[in-house]
Homo-oligomer: A and B are copies of this chain.
Amino acid sequence: MRLATVRTPHGTRAAVQRDSTWVLLKDNNLSSLFSHADWRSQAEKALGETEHEDIQLADAELHTPLPNAAKIVCCGLNYRDHIVETGRDVPEYPTLFAKYADTQIGPNDQIEVGDDSIQVDWEAELAVIVGSPIRRATRAQATAAILGYTVANDVSYRDWQGRTLQWFQGKAWAETTPIGPVVVTADELDPAAGLEIKSEIDGVVMQQSNTRELVFDAADLVAYVSQFTPLAPGDIVLTGTPGGVGLGMRPQRWLQHGEVLRTSIEGIGELRNRISMSTTHEGENQS
């Protein structure tokens, strides 16, 4: 099943995909839909009703799928190929930090940097959506609690991130993290078996790896996080980014005003986000 939060002239609505249409559900978004234990049967019922309100996929403007996610836990340093390439050891424990729900924007929204940062970097990531309440889960319990997956870009303001040892202030900027376009349920997709993950700027590939390279996969991370904090339906775990970010380039390379950041994962879809910055900082990349 493929689900989304769709923008309509009357506000946002949760929706489930049927062929080339979004069938609209009663809830205003997927955060609200997934809070109902019977959300799946609600969605299946709507799919079976031909008179249901719908919008053509091609006409739909998509919102961030889970605008009210209570917890967004993020993992860093988690792609094996990137870790090996940088000469580091494979970590024993996941490196974790938090974001707030209001960091999120829609899959095609502009990233409004303005004057806030001149070192705006990209981090293509697989996002895991939690489907049931869990605490202190085993790997098997965590696997069963995963509702599905979507795409995120953990856009990072490196100038702020590098001010102190803790990354939070470079990662928690309001409305800088595109997520979407759709949530694909776990029965239709197996990231551990391998999905291509990619980011591009204006069509030039920056990151290209595969989710099978994750050191801690979706189930590992959900189980680990649930040891210290309860997770609930609609919570999100970001799984970290592969090599190829601007911070690691020599010379370093940052996103510029007007550039389009494309982030995609095989079997889910893509984010396309234009960067809007104060143009007084144009040409800050070293060349």
Binding site for B on A (CB under 8 A): 70-71, 76, 91-98, 100, 102-103, 116, 135, 157, 160, 163-169, 172-174, 227-230
- Shortest C-beta distance, A154 to chain B (Å), equals 13
Beta-carbon contact of B95 and A164 below 8 Å:
yes
Residues of B close to A157: CB separation below 8 A: 228
Choose one: B96, B164, B174; the contact of A91 (CB below 8 Å): B164
Contact B173 A95 (CB under 8 A): no
A93 touches B163 (CB 8 A): yes
Contact indicator A160/B228 (Cβ below 8 Å): yes
Residues of chain B within 8 A of A97, CB atoms compared: 97-98, 166, 168
Q: Report the minimum CB–CB distance from A127 to chain B (whole Å).
A: 18
Pairwise interchain contact B71-A229, C-beta atoms closer than 8 A? no
Given the complex of chains A and B, what is the CA–CA distance between A93 and B166 in angstroms? 11
The 7 closest A-B pairs by CB, nearest first: A95-B164, A93-B163, A98-B98, A173-B228, A97-B166, A97-B168, A96-B169
Q: A165 near B95 (CB under 8 angstroms)? A: yes
Q: Which chain B residue has the least Cβ–Cβ distance from A77? A: B164
With CB as the reference atom, state the residue of chain B lying closest to A101.
Answer: B70
A93: chain B residues at CB < 8 Å are 163-164, 169
Other-chain contact of A164, B96, B116, B164 (Cβ < 8 Å): B96
Bound Cα distance A4, B228 (Å): 27
Q: Evaluate contact between A168 and B102: CB separation under 8 angstroms.
A: no
A192 to B160, CA, bound (A): 26
Measured in the bound complex, the distance between the Cα atoms of B229 and A96 in whole Å is 19
User: Smallest CB-CB separation from A136: which chain B residue?
Assistant: B116
Show 8 residue pairs from A and B whose CB-CB distance is below 8 angstroms, ordered by the A residue.
Answer: A95-B165, A96-B168, A97-B166, A98-B98, A100-B229, A116-B228, A166-B166, A174-B230
Contact of A166 among B92, B167, B169, B228 (CB under 8 A): B167
A208 CA to B102 CA, complexed, in Å: 37
List the B side residues contacting A135 at CB < 8 Å.
174
Smallest distance from the beta carbon of A246 to chain B beta carbons, Å?
19
Q: CB-nearest residue of chain B relative to A164?
A: B95
Q: Which B-chain residue is minimally distant from A167 (CB atoms)?
A: B166
Q: Take A96-B169, A169-B96 as given contacts and tell me if A229 and B102 are in contact as well, using a CB distance cutoff of 8 Å.
A: yes
Contact B172 A76 (CB under 8 A): no
Q: Is the CB of B229 within 8 A of A92?
A: no
